Amino acid sequence: MRTLNFLPIIAGAVLLSGCWHRTELAATWRDPSASPMHFQHPIAIFVTKSETFRRTMEDKMAAKFMNGVPSYRVLASTDVEDGAAIRKQLADAGYDGAIIMRVASVDTRVVSYTTGRYWSGAPYYSFAGYWGSSWGYPYDPGYVDTDMIVSIETQLYSLASDKLVWAARSETTDPSSVGKLGDSVMRHVMKELEKEQLVGANLGGPAAQGKVVSR
């Protein structure tokens, strides 16, 4: 059974378990009129109340885009009140694109259930008889194997036009750390952007110049 208490991740502390995990894109959307993107100065934003979680994810997001900047270098975590004002602030500062992520849900899925066993019968009137029976049939509780599914929303916006260009929802099963979660989600996002020919020649950073580095 692979388990991970994801709540500490949201709070900024990772509880490590097994190293196996799987990510897939459950849904994607693109603007039908969208052409390959050539952002010159994109900003990466991860929405969370945990500053540690935010910085880890934004660093990984920004690394995939040429000239990408994590938002924590520009915006404080308290700058969340007025979206229109933030967009104008970023556009005025020269940012022309934004990739935004957030955790949409954390769900648990039952994989299998093993029933327990216990013995219940006539009482033993001798110590020796009960001793052998009790050790031969100790209580054995049942248990449930579960998978943890972390769903993340990804939105890609043009800040110049304030328009959504592309969106996706990914599902990662049993992530063992924030870092591996970020690597896996970004790998799948970049592959899909390339597949849909939305990645321009100058969009990606070193890991996205026509190729996506597998990890």
Q: Which pLDDT value is given to residue 136?
A: 66
Non-local CB neighbours of 155 within 8 Å, separated by 6+ positions: 99, 100, 101, 164, 166, 167
- The reply to whether CATH 2.60.120 applies to domain 7-108+147-207 is no
At 2, the pLDDT band (50, 70, 90 cuts) reads very low
Decide if pLDDT at 123 tops 90: no
Judged by phi (left if over 0) then psi (alpha if -120 to 50, else beta), residue 197 lies in left
pLDDT tens digits, one per residue of 38-79: 889 999 999 998 899 999 999 999 999 989 999 999 988 766
Q: Which pLDDT value is given to residue 35?
A: 85
Place of tokens 């970004």: 186
**d(C-alpha 163, C-alpha 68), whole Å:** 19
**d(C-alpha 174, C-alpha 2), whole Å:** 7
User: pTM for the full model?
Assistant: 0.71
pLDDT tens digits, one per residue of 130-169: 777 777 666 667 777 778 889 999 999 999 889 999 999 9
**d(C-alpha 69, C-alpha 62), whole Å:** 5
At 192, the pLDDT band (50, 70, 90 cuts) reads very high
Domain spans of the chain, in order of start: 7-108+147-207
- At position 117, the amino acid (one-letter code) is R
